[in-house]
Amino acid sequence: MGWMFRCTARVRALYLAAALVGVGLLVPVLGPLRAQSPAALGAKPAIIPLEKIQPGMTGYAQTIFEGDRIERIELEVVGLLPNLLGPRQDIILVRLKGPRVEHTGVVSGMSGSPVYLEGQLAGALSLRFGLFAKEPLAGVTPIESMLNLPISGEDRKPLAEPNEAARAASYPIPGEFAQQLGLGTGSFLAPIETPLVFSGFHPATLTRYAGEFAGYGLVAVPGGTAPARADDAALQPGDMASVVLMQGDLSVQASCTVSAVVGDRILLCGHPVFGYGELVAPMARGRVVTTLASAMASTKIVNAGGVIGSITDDRLTGVIGRLGLPPRLIPMELESMTPAGRQHYRFELVEHAKLTPLLVGLATMNGLIGNPLYGEGQTFRLTGEIAIEGHTPVNLENMFAPTDLPLPDAMFIVNSVQTIFTRIFTNSYEAVRIKGVRLRVEAVPERRWAMIDSAWSEKSEVSPGEGIRVKVLLKPYRGAPFVREVPITIPPQAPKGQLRILVSDSETLNRMSRFFSLGPQSRLGGLEQLIALLNRERRNHRLYVTLLQPNPTLLLEDKELPNAPLSQIRILDQRRTPGSSLLLRESVAGEWSVQMNQVITGQYVIPVTVR
C-alpha cells in the first residue's frame, strides 16, 4: 500500500512534547498570568453549586476575542431556567455587560467560556437568545452538568452521574421569563454556533455543504492552520481548542472555548458539537485571529494550532478532550486530472459512521471544483480503492456524464462515493476499520453519454449452443446514432421455449443486488460478502446483454443459484434463517458486456425462441 502515508518522526515528537506539557512534565515558557494559573496545571476548580446561584449575582466570563489574550466579560444572573434541556438539566440565564459584547453580542465560538460567580466556577456559556438580539442574553450550562458527563475510553467512568439526551435546535423561554425580560412570545435560546473552520476549500464547496453542517449548529467559515508551539497543550479556562475532523492539504476543525481543566481532561463548549456521544477525533489548540462582528451573528475566526490530544465525548452538556497522543485517522489521497493539468491532495480524516462519508464527499467535491481547470459539461471517470482492515479492498470504477439539471456536475460522482462509504459503515455485521482511501478522478471535456434506443437479434429462433449477434442502436448526446454488436452464445443446456434477451445499462442490473443487500434484514452473510457484492456491481460505462430464462433463481447470501431445482429450494428453505434468501422468477443464463467510452442509459428486451 505504497500510496498510504504516515506521520513523520518530527510531527510525532511535537505531539509527544505537547502531551508532556499538558501533564506538567515539560515546562513551557508562558506569561506571568498563565504560569501562575492552577487551572493550567490541571487542578480541580472550585465550583459554586447551582442551588446557591440567585438572580442579581454578578460575576464574569473568560474568553478570547483576538490573539491569545483572555478577556473578562462582566455579567449578571437573570435567573434559573429549570429543566430547560431536559429532566434535571437546568440553565442559568445571564446578561453580559461591557463594550465588547455591546458591539459583538454573543459570539460564535464563545460557547464553553467559563463563568465565575463569587470567584468560583459556575458553568460555561452555551446558549444565545435568538437572532438579531438587542441585548446580549446568554444561557450558562452549570458546571455540575459538565462534570457529570460520562467518559469514554479505557477507564469508562463518569466524572459523576451520566445523563444522555438528544440535541435540540432551540429551547423555548418560559412565558413568565419572557414577559419579565420584555421578550416577545415564541422567544427561545439556541446553542451558540460553533465555527467550523475550513482550510484549502473552494468557496463553492463551502456553499454547497454549509447546510449539511448548519443543522448541527456549525457555522462554516474560511480559516487556516497555525504552526505548532511548545505551549499548545498548556490550556486554561478561556483558551480555545478545536475538534479536528480533517488535517493535511485540506483541513476542517470545529472550535470552542475551554471551560475547565481537570487533570488531563479538558471540558469544552458547554453543549454538543454533533451530539454523537462517543467521538474519537484529534484535539488541537485553537488560535483566535480576530472576532468578526455582525448584527446577525458575530463569529470568531480561529486557526487550528498543534494537535495536543484526543476528543473522547460529544454530549448534551459539553465536549470532553484528553491531553496526550492523538487518535488514528484515515489517510486519504485524492488526485484530479484534466487535459491541462493535475492536482494531488493528501490528508487524513476521522473515522466515524456518520461523519466519514460526509467528509469524503466534501473532499471529493473540493478536489474537483477546486481544480483551477474545472468546468461544467465534463465527463468524469472515477477509479480508486478503499482499504478495509481484515477484508478485501473495495474497488471503485465508474463514469459520470453531465446533465442539464441545476446541479454541479461534480455532485453525481460525490453522491456515488458517499453512498458507497455509507453502505460500508452502516453494514449490520461488524464495525469497520478503514486503512486508507485512494481516489483518482479524470475529467474529459465533453458529454459522453448514449441512450439505448432499440435492439434486435439476427435470429428470432436459436438452437442450444448456437452463437448469435445482438445489435444495439445507441443515440449519443450529440451526433449520429450508431450500432454496437455484442456476440452472445445460447447455453448448450438451454431448455426449449421462449427466452428474453435484456439489453441494458448497469443500473438496471444493480437494482436487484442493492435490494438484496439493503433493508432491515440483509440477506448477506457478512461484511466480506457485502464487499464482494460492491465489487461485482456493474459499471455504467459498459453496455450489458443478459440472457434470461423462465426458471427460478435462488439468491442465497451473496450467491446466485440459477435454475435451482424445487427440491433444493425446499431443503434450503428449511435451513435458512428468515430473510437470508430470496427467490426470483427468472434465472440468468448468461451475461455479456462491452466497454464503452461513455455513460450508457436505458434498456430494451428482445424475445427469442429456443428450438
pLDDT-derived band at 12, boundaries 50, 70, 90: very low
In this predicted structure, the answer to whether residue 213 has a pLDDT above a threshold of 60 is: yes
- Which amino acid is located at 271 in the chain? H
Mean pLDDT for the stretch of residues 233-253: 93
Average pLDDT, the chain: 81
Least confident interval from 39-48, 82-91, 378-387, 575-584: 575-584
Mean pLDDT for the stretch of residues 340-345: 82
In this predicted structure, the answer to whether residue 369 has a pLDDT above a threshold of 70 is: yes
Per DSSP bridges, beta strands 218-222 and 194-199 are: parallel
Mean pLDDT for the stretch of residues 560-569: 55
pLDDT-derived band at 314, boundaries 50, 70, 90: very high
Mean pLDDT for the stretch of residues 85-114: 87
* Residue of higher predicted confidence among 162 and 75: 75
- Cα-only R_g, the chain: 30
389 alpha-carbon distance from chain centroid: 20
pLDDT-derived band at 559, boundaries 50, 70, 90: low
Q: How far apart are CA 531 and CA 540, in angstroms?
A: 18
Least confident interval from 6-15, 51-60, 420-429, 478-487: 6-15
Mean pLDDT for the stretch of residues 474-490: 94
Per DSSP bridges, beta strands 137-142 and 120-129 are: antiparallel
pLDDT at 570: 52
In this predicted structure, the answer to whether residue 573 has a pLDDT above a threshold of 90 is: no
pLDDT at 216: 84
Q: How far apart are CA 25 and CA 175, in angstroms?
A: 53
Q: How far apart are CA 255 and CA 238, in angstroms?
A: 12
pLDDT at 32: 32
Which cell numbers in the block locate residue 266?
Answer: 479538558
Q: How far apart are CA 65 and CA 300, in angstroms?
A: 7
In this predicted structure, the answer to whether residue 432 has a pLDDT above a threshold of 70 is: yes
* Residue of higher predicted confidence among 156 and 61: 61
pLDDT at 547: 92
* Residue of higher predicted confidence among 27 and 170: 170
pLDDT-derived band at 126, boundaries 50, 70, 90: very high
In this predicted structure, the answer to whether residue 179 has a pLDDT above a threshold of 80 is: no
In this predicted structure, the answer to whether residue 173 has a pLDDT above a threshold of 90 is: no
Q: What DSSP string runs through 565-592?
A: -HHHHHHHHHHSPTTSEEEES-EEEEEE
pLDDT-derived band at 159, boundaries 50, 70, 90: very low
Portion of the chain with pLDDT greater than 90, in percent:
44
In this predicted structure, the answer to whether residue 257 has a pLDDT above a threshold of 90 is: yes
pLDDT at 389: 95
pLDDT at 175: 61
Mean pLDDT for the stretch of residues 510-527: 61
Q: How far apart are CA 328 and CA 332, in angstroms?
A: 13
pLDDT at 40: 42
Q: How far apart are CA 178 and CA 140, in angstroms?
A: 17
pLDDT at 72: 95
pLDDT at 523: 62
pLDDT at 554: 56
Domains by residue range for the chain, with CATH: 28-191 (2.40.10.10), 330-444 (3.10.20), 449-610 (no CATH)
- What residues are paired with 191 via a beta bridge? 127
pLDDT at 608: 93
pLDDT at 5: 34
Portion of the chain with pLDDT greater than 70, in percent:
77
